[in-house]
Structure formats: structure tokens, C-alpha cells
């Protein structure tokens, strides 16, 4: 997002952000430690540095395209809890608390549970999968995610016969998320899938990217990735997963139902009211003169998912 | 001398982009950044053009008024870059796709109409045309008011996707402030 930059202070005079944030954090930690009189669990943000292996690349899910550079994947994000600018999540995400982290799974299940992040990480073997990610805004990336199929978690809670949909509810930390002050979205951010979509082997519960713990901007510490749908369907920083009988009313459907549907399958034939979806710009590939790429039906995952929608009018259920 | 300084000042956005480009500052999506940035700078330039008259009348600073033609042409220059950015990066210069966008997408239509309104103003900016058109030259150049109104509407429609109108309101307030003395003056003349 363009902002006007009028250089008034020499760049050399500006304290680098990492110094003042680290100073601030250090002060906060000292303050907290003195206040509580304990020096126990200090590695607050460092949930990824505990010797977790994020798994080997699964060759079955290796898109043959060049990976989007890690820097672009982690600094160009939509995560409105931190602001609507693409750089906002990386810029303002530093104060988010990631520990302790619990994910509640309930609703139409036989065994509702609250999972610690550690339990969640142990539930199934982590692997790396390279997925294309297509944003509804017309850009795309190729991202190596680390995680395991969401179906492993859903099976653990045993959905009842009534369960037809899965709803994802995202965390809210008002003191750490400046975007929550804006009323663009009726917080918290809600997304959802049909149960069979959620059980599809492609739907990934994600803990890492590029072999490392997810940064806040990418939805730390746990998110989903649904590669045949537009990116906004993938809830970030998930704290609650609810299985329901009725189709959940998701955030974007609430805001602009004529622009964003519940299904949001990548579909070059159904334009957004304000732009075509026929082509996409691949981030981080080939500089200013790289041509746009043709968008593929279901983002190229039709073989795995087209059967989910047989008989449905996808221009009506977009 | 002042006009040379002015000329380079007007090129500031252009230098900024080159500088950002050399330091990797154009974000992960440079085409999008450049399309948006050129559009906003075109709007800024239009506001500066509107500032020329009140600045000379009330603050007796005439530098903008003296170089208003150059400012106006720069506004048009950044509008052209904005349009070319859209045509190339969004449409790959595909005429059919561009036409389809113009006729089916309201916010593109509004932007294109604003650009079309500015075109005769840029073309008739020479002394020759001023002389030839006489009183009509001024009438023609009132076209800047609908053009700027449409530009802000276009900007509003772009931002409608994210319901993020903060900057749009700022431009609207600035344009309103700049037009206020003109409105008051109009009422005086009656």
C-alpha cells in the first residue's frame, strides 16, 4: 500500500525497529519477572525453537514451480487483525502472545477437547507440502507449508452424524492487534468449510512454513491451508474449531456476500465484481516484466477436489 | 531557475520509485505498488494544482500559480503512468480485456472518465490554444473539478473492497478545503 514518504530524519538517526522492540520486550520481561517474582517460563515468543522437526518434504505434494522467496511469503500478508496493509502483519505482529496456546475443538463431536499446542503437534507426523496459494485479489505464491492433514485432528474428536460443517475461529488479542480497533470485520474472524472439504487430504493443519515455526504474519502458531480455495478461506492463528450442522456465517460472506462466497473455490471463469479472476500475478517471480499467469480451475487441484462439487453450479456457489 | 527546481520537485515520486526499486522497497508486489502509488500521486498533483489560486490570493505566494501549467501536466503525466500500469500489469495491453474492464467494472469506468476529462486540458495547455480558445479556454479548464471529483470517487471504489476509507476522507477534506474559497467567491459574485 503506498504511503507518502517525506524524508525528514536521516535514516542513520532512526533506531532500527528490532532494537526498540527488543528493548521494549526486555523491559516488559524484566517488569513481569520482578512483578511475579519468578523467572520460570521465559521463552515467550520462541515456541518454535524447542527442537521440533517440521518434517520432510512429501514428494506427492511438490508443486513443480519455483518457490516464492521466504521473505515475500512472510512479509506480504493479509491479516486484518494487524491492519489492512500487506506489511502490517509483519510490522505489528511482534507483541502477539503465542504461549500458552490452546485450541478448543467442540460442537458436533463425540469427544470435545482442548488441545495444548504441544499435544496438537504430536497428534500426527508433520510433513512439508508445497502448495500454490491464490489470493482472491489476483496474486499468488508457491509456499512450502509444514503440517499434517486436518482430518487427523477431526478424527481424534470423532464428528457425530450431525456434523456437516467445520468453523474456524481466530484469536483476538486487543492489546497486541491494532487492526481489531477497526470495524472492517465483526471480530473474531470466522471461516468455515463443509466437513467433506475439511476431511479432504489436501486440507492441511499448518504449524510451520519454510521448515520453521509459522511467523505471526502467516498465522502463528497454527492455521489451515486449503490450496484449491482463495487464501482468505484459510483461517490464521486458530483458537477454536467448531463442528456444526448448519453452514457457518463466515466473515467475508457477512461483509460482502456479492463479492465473496462461502465456497470461494479458485475459479478463473467466475470474476470478482471488481476484477477478472482469469489470470494471476505470481509474487517474487521474474521482476516487473513477468507476464501474468493463467489461473487454473481449483488452482490446479481439480483432480483431488472436483468430485466434491459434482452437480453444483459453481457460478452460483462461488 | 525556480522552474527547474519545480520540475525536479515534480519528479519526486519518480525518483522515489527508482530509489525504492534499487533498495527492494517496492514491496513483494511491485506492480501493484506502482499502480497504486502513481494513482495517488496523480491525485496529489491535482490537489496541488487546486492549491495554486488560494495560495497566491490569501498567502501571496505565487510560485505555484506561476507554474500551474507544469503542475497540471505532471498531474496528467502521473495519470498516464497510472493508466499504463493498469493496462500493462493488469491487462497485458490486451485491448479486448481492457475494453471489457472499462464497460463492466464501475470503478474502472469512473477512473477512465476522469482520465478522459483531463486529456483536453493537457492538450490545450499551450499559449497557442489559450489564444485560440479565448474565454472558452477557462471554461474548458473548469473540467478539473469533475475530473478530481471522479478521481476521488474512483479511489473510494478501490478502497471499498477493504472498507478502508481513511485516506479517501483525507483527500476529500483537502479538496473541499481548497474549493471552499472558490465557492464563497462564487456566491459573492452573484
pLDDT tens per residue, range B139-165: 999 999 999 999 999 999 988 877 788
Contacts of B36 in chain A (CB under 8 A): 1-2
Q: Is A276 on the interface with B (CB under 8 A)?
A: yes
Taking the Cβ of residue A4 and every Cβ of chain B, the question of whether any pair is shorter than 8 Å is answered with: yes
pLDDT at site A21: 53
The answer, yes or no, to whether residue A249 has pLDDT greater than 90, is yes
Would you call A58 an interface residue with chain B, using a CB distance cutoff of 8 Å?
no
- Determine the residue of chain B that is closest to A284 in CA distance: B28
- Under an 8 A CB cutoff, do A5 and B16 touch? yes
Residue whose C-alpha is closest to residue B116's, from B70, B151, B65: B151
* Amino acid B128: pLDDT: 94
pLDDT of residue A228: 98
Percent of chain B's residues with pLDDT above 70: 99
B163 to chain A, closest Cα gap in Å: 6
β A57-62/A102-107 pair status: unpaired
- Residue A97: what pLDDT? 96
Predicted confidence (pLDDT) at residue A34 exceeds the cutoff of 50: no
Distance CA B150, CA B131 (A): 29
| Enclosing domain of residue B182 | 2-189
Contact A2 B28 (CB under 8 A): no
Look at chain B and report how many structural domains it folds into.
1
Q: What pLDDT, on a 0 to 100 scale, did the predictor assign at position B179?
A: 92
- Interchain CB contact of B174 with A (< 8 Å): no
- According to the model, what pLDDT value does residue A277 have? 95
Which of A7-11, A277-281, B30-34 is least confident? A7-11
What is the arithmetic mean of pLDDT over A143-147?
97
pLDDT value at residue A80: 95
Q: Is the pTM of this model over 0.90?
A: no
Alpha carbon B152 to chain centroid, angstroms = 10
How sure is the predictor about A2, in pLDDT bands with cuts at 50, 70 and 90? Answer: very low
pLDDT at residue number A39? 39
Do the Cβ atoms of B36 and A1 come within 8 Å?
yes
Q: Tell me what the mean pLDDT of segment A144-157 comes to.
A: 98
DSSP-derived 3-state class of residue B115: helix
Average of pLDDT values for A247-267? 94
User: What band does A192 get if pLDDT is binned at 50, 70 and 90?
Assistant: very high
Confidence of residue B105 (pLDDT cuts 50, 70, 90): very high
Return the pLDDT at B186.
83
> What's the whole-number mean pLDDT along residues A263-287?
92
Query: Residue A42 above 50 pLDDT?
Result: no
The answer to whether the beta carbons of residues A216 and A286 sit under 8 Å apart is no
Neighbours of B135 (CB within 10 A): 7
* A312 touches B at CB < 8 Å: no
Contacts of B28 in chain A (CB under 8 A): 71-72, 75-76, 86, 283-284
Are residues B163 and A184, on separate chains, in Cβ contact within 8 Å? yes
pLDDT for residue A48 is more than 90 = no
Q: pLDDT of A99-138, one tens digit each?
A: 999 999 999 999 999 999 999 999 999 999 999 999 999 9
pLDDT tens digits for B4-62? Answer: 999 999 999 999 999 999 998 899 999 999 999 999 999 999 999 999 999 988 889 88
Q: What is the mean pLDDT of chain A?
A: 87
Residue contact A84–B30, C-beta within 8 A: no
Residue % of chain B over a pLDDT of 90:
78
| Mean pLDDT value of segment A232-261 | 95
Longest dimension (CA), chain A: 64
Residues from chain B that touch A1, judged by Cβ atoms under 8 A, are 33, 36
Mean per-residue pLDDT, A61-69? 86
Collect all residues of chain B within an 8 Å Cβ-Cβ radius of residue A256.
Answer: 161
* The three-state (H, E, C) secondary structure of chain A, written as one string: CCCCCCCCCCHHHCCCHHHHHHHHHHHHHHHHHHHHCCCCCCCCCCCCCCCCCCCCEEEEEECCCCCCCHHHHHHCCCCHHHCCCCCHHHHHHHHCCCCCCEEEEEECECCCEEEEHHHHHHCCCCEEEEEEEECCCCEEEEEEEEEEEHHHHHHHHCECCCCCEEEEEECCCCCCCHHHHCCCCCCCCEEEEEHHHHHCCCCEEEEEECCEECCHHHCCCCEEECCCECHHHCCCCEEEEEEECCCCCCHHHHHCCCCCCCCCECCCCCCECCECCCEEEECCCCHHHCCCEECCHHHHCHHHHHHHHCCCCCCCCC
- Out of B36, B157, B162, whose CB is closest to A84? B162
Residue A37 has pLDDT above 50, yes or no: no
B44 at A interface, C-beta within 8 A? yes
pLDDT per residue over A158-174, tens digit each? 999 999 999 999 999 99
Amino acid at each position: 500500500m503506498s504511503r507518502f514518504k517525506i524524508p525528514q530524519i536521516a535514516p542513520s538517526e532512526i533506531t532500527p525497529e528490532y532494537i526498540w522492540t527488543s528493548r521494549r520486550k526486555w523491559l516488559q520481561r524484566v517488569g513481569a519477572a520482578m512483578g511475579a517474582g519468578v523467572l520460570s517460563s521465559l521463552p515467550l515468543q520462541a515456541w518454535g525453537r524447542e527442537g521440533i522437526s517440521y518434517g520432510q518434504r512429501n514428494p506427492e505434494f511438490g508443486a513443480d514451480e519455483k518457490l516464492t522467496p521466504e521473505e515475500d511469503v512472510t512479509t506480504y500478508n493479509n491479516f486484518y487483525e494487524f491492519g489492512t496493509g500487506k506489511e502490517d502483519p509483519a510490522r505489528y505482529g511482534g507483541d502477539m502472545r503465542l504461549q500458552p496456546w490452546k485450541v478448543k475443538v467442540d460442537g458436533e463431536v463425540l469427544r470435545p477437547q482442548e488441545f495444548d499446542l504441544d499435544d496438537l503437534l504430536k497428534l500426527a507426523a508433520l510433513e512439508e507440502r508445497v502448495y500454490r496459494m491464490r489470493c482472491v485479489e489476483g496474486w499468488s505464491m508457491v509456499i512450502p507449508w509444514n503440517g499434517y492433514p486436518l482430518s487427523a485432528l477431526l478424527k481424534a474428536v470423532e464428528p457425530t452424524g450431525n456434523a456437516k460443517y467445520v468453523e474456524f475461529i481466530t484469536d483476538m488479542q486487543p492489546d497486541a492487534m491494532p487492526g481489531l480497533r477497526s470495524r472492517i470485520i465483526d471480530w473474531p474472524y470466522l471461516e468455515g468449510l463443509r466437513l467433506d472439504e475439511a476431511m479432504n487430504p489436501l486440507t492441511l493443519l499448518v504449524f510451520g512454513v519454510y521448515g520453521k515455526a509459522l511467523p505471526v504474519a502467516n498465522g502463528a502458531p497454527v492455521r489451515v491451508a486449503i490450496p484449491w480455495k482463495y487464501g482468505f478461506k484459510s483461517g490464521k492463528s486458530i483458537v477454536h474449531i467448531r463442528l456444526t450442522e448448519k453452514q457457518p456465517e463466515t466473515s467475508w460472506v457477512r461483509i460482502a456476500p456479492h463479492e465473496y462466497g462461502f465456497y470461494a473455490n479458485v475459479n478463473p471463469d467466475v470474476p470478482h465484481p471488481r476484477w477478472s479472476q482469469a489470470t494471476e500475478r505470481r509474487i517474487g517471480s521474474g521482476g516487473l516484466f513477468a507476464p501474468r499467469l493463467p489461473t487454473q480451475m481449483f488452482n490446479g487441484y481439480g483432480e483431488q477436489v472436483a468430485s466434491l462439487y459434482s452437480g453444483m453450479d459453481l457460478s452460483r456457489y462461488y | 531557475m525556480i522552474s527547474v527546481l519545480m520540475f525536479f520537485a515534480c519528479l519526486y515520486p519518480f525518483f522515489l520509485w527508482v530509489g525504492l526499486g534499487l533498495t527492494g522497497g517496492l514491496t513483494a508486489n511491485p506492480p501493484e505498488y506502482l499502480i497504486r502509488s502513481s494513482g495517488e500521486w496523480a491525485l496529489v498533483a491535482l490537489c496541488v494544482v487546486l492549491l495554486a489560486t488560494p495560495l497566491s490570493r490569501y498567502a501571496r505566494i505565487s510560485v505555484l500559480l506561476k507554474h500551474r501549467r507544469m503542475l497540471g501536466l505532471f498531474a496528467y503525466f502521473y495519470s498516464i503512468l497510472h493508466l499504463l500500469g493498469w493496462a500493462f500489469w493488469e491487462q497485458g495491453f490486451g485491448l479486448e480485456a481492457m475494453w471489457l474492464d472499462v464497460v463492466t467494472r464501475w470503478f474502472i469506468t469512473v477512473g477512465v472518465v476522469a482520465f478522459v476529462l483531463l486529456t483536453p486540458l493537457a492538450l490545450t495547455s499551450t499559449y497557442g490554444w489559450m489564444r485560440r480558445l479565448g474565454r472558452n479556454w477557462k471554461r474548458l479548464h473548469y473540467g478539473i473539478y469533475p475530473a478530481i471529483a471522479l478521481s476521488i470517487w474512483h479511489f473510494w471504489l478501490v478502497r471499498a473492497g477493504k472498507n478502508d476509507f481513511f485516506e479517501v476522507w483525507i483527500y476529500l477534506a483537502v479538496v473541499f478545503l481548497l474549493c471552499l474559497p472558490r465557492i464563497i467567491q462564487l456566491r459573492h459574485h452573484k
